[in-house]
Structure 1
Amino acid sequence: MNWAARWIGGRFHYGWFVVAVVFLVLLAAAGTRATPSVMMIPLEHQFGWSRATISLAISVNIALYGLMGPFAAAAMQRFGVRPTLLAALGTMGGGVALSSLMTHPWQMVLIWGVMVGGATGVAALSLSATVVTRWFTSHRGLAMGILTASSATGQLVFLPFLAAIAQKYGWQPVVLVVAAASAVVIPLVALLLPERPADMKLRPYGEGHDMPSAPPQPQGNPLKIAFGALTSASRTRDFWLLFFSFFICGASTNGYVGTHLIAMCGDYGLSEVQGASLLAAMGIFDLFGTTLSGWLSDRFNSRLLLFWYYGLRGLSLIYLPHAFGIEFFGLPIFAVFYGLDWIATVPPTVRLTTDVYGKEHAPIVFGWVVAGHQLGAAFAAYGAGLLRSSLGTYTVASMISGGLCLIASFLVLRINRGPREVAVQTA
């Protein structure tokens, strides 16, 4: 890694190079997380599994993806980012490859739900928060926005390609392609990802020489660190406002739209490739929207940004069932408005978490907030599948998701109303 620092030299701070490496890791993880939505219809046709059955495996995946967040953040503090991430990437790639042999629903729950869900939970928002707080003092919002946008880029890169493979060759080649993508990023992490700026004889980007050095690395049990942070943070109102607003965020994004939009398009006569292309188009807008959101969160009130993000997302979801009935402009209008704001909520939420709980404890507390996000996503993934199976339509699920977003737009206005930092006990 020292050779990389010397090569970069005075061109730019190595922290931006770390952002690039982590972006590629998150890109592979995002493609992995999006894969089940491409597999849903082929699995339904080949094995006769219902959407509720497939949605159960996806909901377990989403729930574990979120629940791993605080423990992953604690493990990164205790054992280091690189060892933790390498173990997760190996598990993720191996699990995806193994799933090519599955023939029963319980195998999908075990492999895609437990193995892949837990592994992708390490290569997730908690990783982004940990890297950004370690490597950046200024421009944190922009760096977080870039890393968060990796989810959108993952959809843009993977979904249309994977959908075309699934439509022509079936779902097994899809999982082998995704497993290979996971394997490619492992050497990048092993060779190019240092733990902290001090390892490269650097200070965090934007930090002056008169600033205090980084605190010593925690030596406790990661489980104790994670639960200690939860115990302290859960005594505060701000934690629950962050938790439940992010629960709604997860329910209305990768839980509902990310999981069911391709299948929903099939209900209206659109192919898997057309549905995946719609998601990819939304990913393009989200790439810009989330990066812009990071830039805005460095300059404007994060509560007000979240108010607008949740409110506009709610209106977009309420509009979605009507979009299929408008011949040309319906779905493109939805793709633009929903796409721009899909995961734009992340940078302001990280900023508020850091403001309330402090730089060192924020990644672990945010990990618990992300757990709320993914529990909401799991709730929506399974709940929308049940509603579709019982009602034959996704309209009610869309209305519920939109209404929850409107509620969240008012919840976030109460976060961090006073200028304070909450002490968090992690040991």
Structure 2
Amino acid sequence: MTSLRAAEFRRAWPVVLASAFGAGTGAVPLAFYSFGALIDPLSKAFGWSRAEITAAPLFLTIGGLLAGVLAGAAADRWGARPVVIISQIALVVGFAAFAVLPPSLTAFYLGYAMLAILGAGTMTMTWSRAVTGWFVAGRGLALGLSLVGTGLIGAVLPSYIVALVAEYGWRGAYIGLAALPLVLGLPLTLLLFREPEDSVAKDGPAQTSPPGGHSFGAALRTRCFWQMALSMTVVAVAISAVNVHAVPLLTDRGIDPASAAALAGLIGLSVTAGRLVSGFLLDHVRGPVVAFAMFGLPAIACLMLAAAGDNLWLCGLAIAIVGLAAGAEHDIAAYLCAHYFGRQHYGKVYGLLYTLYGVGAGLGPLVAGWAVRATGDYAQALHGGSAMFAVAAALILTVKPPRPLPVPA
């Protein structure tokens, strides 16, 4: 098994590298990890409340609902590579357009919806579709490495945005976001990213994952899919609430903006660790058990964060633990989706799963914003997040594989 895993990595490491940079500069990580550092500048520029501004991720989710499954279906039909390239180019235009944003909440919300639509092909299902095709024995670790760029980008993006806002204003910060997929993501996609089906014609047959599995309709008729979707959606609510509100949560406690941005950057570092740790464990331990641990620990971290006050060490530790769950979630979802439902219709099946827990990611910041407006602080929001993590952990632990498909006579 070890030799097979090594052979897979020798053959497909360029795909993993391109996926890491492409996923890290995709629509969702750039929009979410930058958002917390943009809340106060946008509020000062337009007079919008935090609750109004933090509704924008919900519109990002709505755009994902419209485009996520379609992007997955397009990758199933035409391959992931052309879908990714078109989306990366469109995403550059989408972020750059915010530099001319008028003082209109409607335009602001529509802009975030369009980011998801234009960048749908940069979401997890396209990168993981290729990776799950190249890897069998080392699939978990390969998925973790292929998505590690989202954590690395998340680690530096809050400070990057704070620096851009200070130097060029919030409009310049959006131009800085547009530069990332153009400079980091697209070149590597053009040079290195391809699926195993493409390599058959170029390099000869490869030892890859077979394309069979459940059809889209058959997957949707299983309890397994919907239980996974519910668990992922609930945990996404809690993760995104902490992620997006990390900077204002900390500054409300008297922590200076630079330190708050640095602590928020710990989410990105721990996302990277979460991807690698969960990816390694998925190759050696049952997936639901790995998920239970990764979703259960942040339930304790949210309670810790609620009680930490302005203690930088405790705040940083709690935020880092939540980041572990954020890193693990995509790996776990991609791995279980391929493991339970196969690869033939992976783009559509995982595209729907991704879209559904994207709904949770969109709702999380908005719900937390409402809770803060109603109570005056983040304590109740953090207690609610703790409960959500606990529920999600219990749901994922009790997932049972779907019944095997009948073998054709």
Structure 1 and Structure 2 fold alike (TM over 0.5) = yes
CA distance in structure 1 between the partners assigned to 2:364 and 2:8 by the alignment: 45
Aligned to 1:248: 234
1:357 maps to 2:341: yes
1:39 maps to 2:38: yes
1:316 maps to 2:305: no
What is the TM-score normalised by the length of structure 2?
Answer: 0.88
CA distance in structure 2 between the partners assigned to 1:164 and 1:183 by the alignment: 20
Q: Which has the higher helix share?
A: 2
Q: How many residues align?
A: 393
Question: Quick one: which amino acid aligns to residue 255 of structure 2?
Answer: L
- Describe the superposition over 1:42-80 as per-residue Cα deviations: whole angstroms up to 9, x where unpaired: 000111011121112221113433653322111112122
1:22 maps to 2:19: yes
Shift of 1:191: 3.6
Q: Which ranges in structure 2 are unaligned for 5 or more consecutive residues?
A: 1-6
Question: Quick one: which amino acid aligns to residue 421 of structure 1?
Answer: P
What is the TM-score normalised by the length of structure 1?
Answer: 0.85
Tell me, yes or no, if the aligned pair for 2:73 and 2:348 is still in contact at 8 Å.
yes
Tell me, yes or no, if the aligned pair for 1:156 and 1:280 is still in contact at 8 Å.
yes
CA distance in structure 2 between the partners assigned to 1:94 and 1:360 by the alignment: 32
Tell me, yes or no, if the aligned pair for 1:311 and 1:405 is still in contact at 8 Å.
yes
Shift of 1:302: 0.9
**Of residues 360, 379, 394 in structure 1, which corresponds to 2:363?**
379
Tell me, yes or no, if the aligned pair for 2:24 and 2:150 is still in contact at 8 Å.
yes
- Describe the superposition over 1:197-250 as per-residue Cα deviations: whole angstroms up to 9, x where unpaired: 32432444x54xxx97x67xxxxxxxxx9xx71x43222110111110010121
Query: SS at the partner of 1:177?
Result: helix
- Describe the superposition over 1:311-340 as per-residue Cα deviations: whole angstroms up to 9, x where unpaired: 111111122111225x35321321343333
- Once the two structures are overlaid, the 10-residue window that deviates more, 14-23 or 55-64, is 55-64
1:292 maps to 2:277: yes
Query: SS at the partner of 1:360?
Result: coil
Question: Quick one: which amino acid aligns to residue 253 of structure 2?
Answer: Y
CA distance in structure 2 between the partners assigned to 1:117 and 1:275 by the alignment: 27
Query: SS at the partner of 1:19?
Result: helix
- Describe the superposition over 1:145-186 as per-residue Cα deviations: whole angstroms up to 9, x where unpaired: 112322211112322121122234321111111111122232
- Once the two structures are overlaid, the 10-residue window that deviates more, 305-314 or 282-291, is 282-291
Tell me, yes or no, if the aligned pair for 2:164 and 2:176 is still in contact at 8 Å.
no
Aligned to 2:168: 169
Aligned to 2:390: 406
Shift of 1:413: 2.1
Q: Which ranges in structure 1 are unaligned for 5 or more consecutive residues?
A: 1-9, 216-224
Where do residues 322-333 of structure 1 align in structure 2 (5 Å cutoff)? 322-325=307-310, 327-333=311-317
Aligned to 1:234: 220
Where do residues 264-283 of structure 1 align in structure 2 (5 Å cutoff)? 264-283=249-268
Aligned to 1:75: 74
Query: SS at the partner of 2:255?
Result: coil
| C-alpha spacing 1:203/1:159, structure 2 compared with 1 (3 Å) | farther
Aligned to 2:404: 421
1:154 maps to 2:153: yes
Tell me, yes or no, if the aligned pair for 1:309 and 1:344 is still in contact at 8 Å.
yes
Aligned-residue RMSD, C-alpha: 2.4
| C-alpha spacing 1:199/1:384, structure 2 compared with 1 (3 Å) | farther
Shift of 1:271: 3.4
Question: Quick one: which amino acid aligns to residue 261 of structure 2?
Answer: A
Question: Quick one: which amino acid aligns to residue 278 of structure 1?
Answer: L
- Once the two structures are overlaid, the 10-residue window that deviates more, 39-48 or 182-191, is 182-191
Aligned to 1:109: 109
